């Protein structure tokens, strides 16, 4: 919403349930304070559904998981054979004589 309709015109037109919310809450209606919901007459969870997924919580969880896996990935890539298999940089037809057979060319080479 912020990039494509910062004034809220698009949301107000196509999501009439949110029409009366202040513009600054249109892109994240579930985070609208209860006092603002009350004053605008829009009740999140009644007039407009709550989000099915808490994207911020999932993002944070995924970052923690990837952070824990980063050391294992670096360790695995220290093995030349693992590094060769993990690389898609060797494209078919672009290898030199020195590179012949050193990289993965197709997914089914893996």
49-81 tens-digit pLDDT: 999 988 889 999 999 998 888 888 888 888 888
36 with 5, same domain: the answer is yes
23 with 61, same domain: the answer is no
34 with 75, same domain: the answer is no
7-39 tens-digit pLDDT: 999 999 999 999 999 999 999 999 999 999 999
Range of the domain at 12: 1-50
5 with 34, same domain: the answer is yes
31 with 61, same domain: the answer is no
Q: Is the pTM of this model over 0.95?
A: no
Three-state secondary structure along the chain? CCCCCCCCHHHHHHCHHHCCCCHHHCCCHHHCCHHHHHHHCCCECCCECCCCCCHHHHHHHHHHHHHHHHHHHHHHHCCHHHHHHHCCCCCCCCCCCCCCCCCCCCHHHC
Let me know if residue 28 belongs to a domain: yes
- Count structural domains, the chain: 2
Let me know if residue 72 belongs to a domain: yes
């Amino acid at each position: 919403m912020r990039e494509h309709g910062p004034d809220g015109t698009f949301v107000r037109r196509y999501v009439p349930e949110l029409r009366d919310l202040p513009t600054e809450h249109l892109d994240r209606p579930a985070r609208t304070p209860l006092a603002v919901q009350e004053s605008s007459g829009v009740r999140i969870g009644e007039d407009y559904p709550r989000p099915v997924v808490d994207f911020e919580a999932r993002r944070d969880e995924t970052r923690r998981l990837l952070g824990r896996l980063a050391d294992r990935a670096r360790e695995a890539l220290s093995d030349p054979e693992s590094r060769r298999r993990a690389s898609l940089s060797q494209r078919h037809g672009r290898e030199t004589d020195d590179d012949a057979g050193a990289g993965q060319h197709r997914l089914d080479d893996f």
